[in-house]
Amino acid sequence: MIKEIKPANSLRGEIIPPPDKSISQRAAIFSLLHDGISEVKNFSKAEDPNSTLSCVQQMGAQVKRSNESLLITGTGRRGLRKPEKDLDCGNSGTAMRLLSGVLVGSCVPARLVGDESLSGRTMTRIINPLEKMGAHILARNSAYAPLFVTCNDGLKPMKYELPIPSAQLKSCILLAGLFGEDVTQVIEILPSRDHTERLLELDSVVTHGRKIISASRADEIPNQSYTIPGDFSSAAFWLVAGAIHNDAEIMLSGTGLNPSRNALLGVLEEMGADITIENERQEGAEPVGDIVVKSSDLRAIKLDPNIIPNCIDELPVIAIAMLFAEGISEISGAGELRHKETDRIMATGEILRAVGADFEEKEDGFIIHGNPDFTFDSAEFKSYHDHRIAMAASILSLKGTNPSKVIDAESAAVSYPEFWQHLKAASGN
């Protein structure tokens, strides 16, 4: 689908971001592992969480939908079923990596498949440690899906220092560890999103700046009865849209504010954005609030590489903010972007170059020469079937003089099916 996006005269109103994708996927998997019923409110209707939900159903979870909630009856760790068909993870790296951990821990054999994008993303980061824990994983070219996951005898627990700051890898190992008689420990040097530890109430300690998280069979798996907060990563598009637009005031109600996810707030504040947070509260294990963003005068920023894991999914839209900020901005230490749904350093560069921006690509990031008065007429943006690239390009389109086009815009539904409706409501287009 090609979406035409008109420039916006103003951006105003209240947006309720869609339910958090990462938390929804975890709610589905952890509800399967809980022996009993979980009532999950505000479960995401996006494609990735739907893929995860159908996988957990194939593994034995029973799912009933009532008005605003999902009732998920889990099998517990002992009752998992061998799926009769392939587990189709669609576009979701989180589904493939977290479910692999569950399959290895439980020693349930299965084949995991994904769409073209997911089948092109390396799985060696999980294959190597899972094989050390006793798994046999057959992968295309030893690295790519389809993955055929089997094991022989019992799980070998381990102490594992994460070689990359990845919440998917961390969660994969911890989920396998939950089946072991002895404790598995994951050591994290740079903090990545911590939903798994929070929602499973796993023990963790911080020593010498490293976080050590433990999991074993002795850990109870709590029921997952809570309300999923609004997705900060979806709210991010509006935070940037509001900050760069000359006539904007947007309220993002009920947005998740988990500190391991919300580094964009600090980034935008350091750039001079007018952002306030109201009504901070707790929804289950996660902090939530209403964020208000207004038109702002932005200045350039050099991002601290240590915060990259806490704004990893927001980097393409941060690049848009950098384009409208006074001065030279820089991101480095973000090589992981090359392993996302598409190579997001390349794709972000394509979007910015399409409007004539001064974008310098680096192996692990980029440099952008920004200007608050930057203007362009219109552009045709390639999204590379990547939801976050499609939405970042749409936010940029709002600043053109004439309508722009976003190619393969349907990919937004991977995380944010309501995006187009919200765009229309906020911009009046």
Residues that bind ligand S3P (CB under 6 A): 22, 94, 166-168, 171, 192-193, 312-313, 336
Report H helices in 201-311.
232-244, 263-270
Considering beta carbons, is residue 49 or 370 the nearer one to ligand S3P? 49
Considering beta carbons, is residue 243 or 312 the nearer one to ligand S3P? 312
Residue 364 is a catalytic residue: no
Nearest distance from C-beta of residue 417 to ligand S3P, angstroms: 16
Give the list of residues 6+ apart from residue 128 with CB closer than 8 angstroms, or none: none
Considering beta carbons, is residue 170 or 245 the nearer one to ligand S3P? 170
Burial code (b: 16+ CB inside 10 Å, e: under 16) for 157-169 equals bbebebeebbbbb
Cα 133 from Cα 11, distance rounded (Å): 51
Nearest distance from C-beta of residue 102 to ligand S3P, angstroms: 14
Q: What is the maximal distance between C-alpha atoms in the chain?
A: 64
In the block, which residue shows the tokens 């820089």? 330
Considering beta carbons, is residue 27 or 300 the nearer one to ligand S3P? 27
Catalytic residue among 48, 115, 290, 313: 313
Nearest distance from C-beta of residue 280 to ligand S3P, angstroms: 23
Cα 79 from Cα 252, distance rounded (Å): 41
Q: Whose CA is closest to 412, among 292, 262, 233, 251?
A: 233
DSSP of 132-166? HTTEEEEEETTTEEEEEEEE-SS----EEE-SS--
Query: Is residue 137 within 8 Å of 130, Cβ to Cβ?
Result: yes
End-to-end CA, the chain: 18
Q: Give residue 9's identity as a one-letter amino acid code.
A: N
Considering beta carbons, is residue 344 or 399 the nearer one to ligand S3P? 344
Considering beta carbons, is residue 99 or 298 the nearer one to ligand S3P? 99
Query: Is residue 24 within 8 Å of 43, Cβ to Cβ?
Result: yes
Query: Is residue 372 within 8 Å of 332, Cβ to Cβ?
Result: no
Nearest distance from C-beta of residue 169 to ligand S3P, angstroms: 6
Positions marked active-site: 313
